[in-house]
Structure 1
Amino acid sequence: MTYRALALLPLPALIAAAPAMSPDLAKVQAHLSAVQSMTATFSQTDRNGKTLNGTLSLKRPGKVRFQYEKGVPILVVADGNSLWFLDYSVKQKQRLPIKNGPLGVLLDPSKDISGFAKMIPTADPSILSVEVFDRKHPEYGRINLIFEKSAAAPAGLMLRGWVALDAQNNRTTIRLSGQRFNVPISDGTFRFNDPSPSGPRK
């Protein structure tokens, strides 16, 4: 897809008989449970070093919008039921169920992450890295969520972004800034114009 829109790779299903959650993973789970909405600006860098900027709006459960900067004909939006990749330059769209995408970690407040996520050691004790990866389905790729300890953020953690690798090891990095948590966001934020020639407004 053009611009590798946010490298939203499929997520694994929950794994039965998951091991006990580590203290740091429990902190991540507590943060995710405490966030009902979030706004931020984002910077997306692909494997070639090309960077695009935009704004993020997230409302749980199931809604997110990545609005790219002016002049970029791409929109990524989840309307509560499906995740949509919209390319207005070629009038195409692609739909994926939210539960099969990595943003399911951020969008579903009831999701137990212990079955498919693990902590990755970092050199900085103030940074937590959480890897999402299904060994049974390496074709899904993997994604690392990056958190920074912050007393001002829900459950003491600030989501700073993520790094995604697809099955071909193509890397896409998302960096967030200006995060605001649990702010009012209208449901109308997650509506969009269907790029198909006769597509209705969603």
Structure 2
Amino acid sequence: MNKLTNRTARALGAGLLALAAPAALVAPVVPAAAAQSTKMEEAVKALRAISTMRASFTQTDRSGQQVRGTMALKRPGKIRFEYQKDVPVLIVSDGSRLTMLDYEVNQKQVWPIKNSPLGALLQPDGDISKYGTLMPTNHPGVTSVRIRDPKHPEYGTMTMIFERKASAPGGMQLAGWVSVDSQNKMTRIDLTNQRYGMDIGNGTFMFKDVRARTKR
């Protein structure tokens, strides 16, 4: 069991849980120009157009350590990050709560997602323009939106990255995101093999509780 990759996996959970702050605390951002407004509208449209999604992901921490896994998304509110077999960490949202389970140390953390920046990704009427601001990119086909609560820097930031793709819902594909916590620790998620519109049963978002009794 690779303890270094386990720590890398936990960094994603820490980053996501840090973003589970009440959206009412996040100041709205008004785009400064029509072009910015259009890009933001396209990003919002792309998120709202996703009903279900599966993808592979690569998670990279600031030291370059990587772990891989698969992601399943079902809106409203459900997401699952399942890591490679040697990383005993699972992250699941059941529609209202985000849960990180660490089976190696038998620990569980639970946070609400409703009305949070993460909720903008998971809820069907999520509007990231209420929580985020456009960031500059070096490519016209890429849109980057940073979600941040300026009043509470301890919640960290999440920057979502979209790439223009005609076959993706809304014409923009979610390519990944970067989270930075209050200690300036960065975690990057890169998505590949994105697939949309398939049937995903609610059982996908169930899990074995770390407190469950184990057989001897």
Tell me the TM-score normalised to structure 1 length.
Answer: 0.91
2:180 alignment partner in structure 1: 165
**1:170-190 CA deviation, whole Å, 9 max, x = no partner?**
000000000011211011101
Residue identity opposite 2:168 in structure 1? A
Q: 2:161 is matched with which residue?
A: 146
Cα RMSD (Å) of the superposition?
Answer: 2.0
**2:179 and 2:27 mapped to 1: Cα distance?**
24
For residues 12 and 102 of structure 2, what CA distance do their matches in structure 1 show? 10
Q: CA deviation at 1:43?
A: 0.4
CA contact (8 A) 2:180 2:187 kept: yes
1:97 aligns with 112
Equivalent residue number for residue 57 of structure 2: 42
**Paired residue for 1:184?**
199
- Percent identity for Structure 1 against Structure 2: 46
- Give the distance between the partners of 1:45 and 1:138, measured in 2 at CA: 22
Corresponding letter in the other structure for 1:60 = R
The letter for the 1-side match of 2:129 is S
**In 2, Cα distance between equivalents of 1:146 and 1:17:** 19
Give, in angstroms, the shift of residue 136 of structure 1.
1.1
Query: What is the CA distance between 1:124 and its match in structure 2?
Result: 0.6
Shift of 1:101: 5.1
Structure with more of its chain in helix, by fraction: 2
Deviates more, 1:102-111 or 1:154-163: 102-111
Q: CA deviation at 1:17?
A: 6.6
* 1:4 aligned partner: 11
56, 81, 88: which one aligns with 1:73: 88
DSSP 3-state at the match of 1:31:
helix
Distance 2:185 2:160 in 1: 16
Cα distance in structure 2, aligned partners of 1:91 and 1:100: 29
AA aligned to 1:13 is A
Could you tell me how far apart the structure 2 residues matched to 1:81 and 1:70 are? 27
Give the superposition deviation at 1:16: 6.7
- In the alignment, the residues of structure 1 paired with residue 47 and residue 129 of structure 2 have an alpha-carbon distance, to the nearest angstrom, of 13
Between the aligned partners of 1:105 and 1:111, the Cα distance in structure 2 is 4
CA contact (8 A) 2:72 2:79 kept: yes
Residue identity matched to 2:23: A
The farther-off stretch of 10-19 and 37-46 is 10-19
Supply the distance in 2 between the matched residues of 1:22 and 1:145 (Cα, whole angstroms): 16
Q: 1:19 aligns with which of 11, 24, 30?
A: 30
TM-score (norm 2): 0.86
Q: Is contact 2:135-2:146 (8 Å) kept?
A: yes
Q: 1:118: Cα distance to partner?
A: 1.0
Greater CA deviation, 96-105 or 53-62?
A: 96-105
Query: Where does the alignment leave 5 or more consecutive residues of structure 1 unmatched?
Result: none
> What whole-Å deviation, never above 9, does each CA across 1:105-158 have from its counterpart, x for those lacking one?
210111222221111111111111001011111111111101100111111101
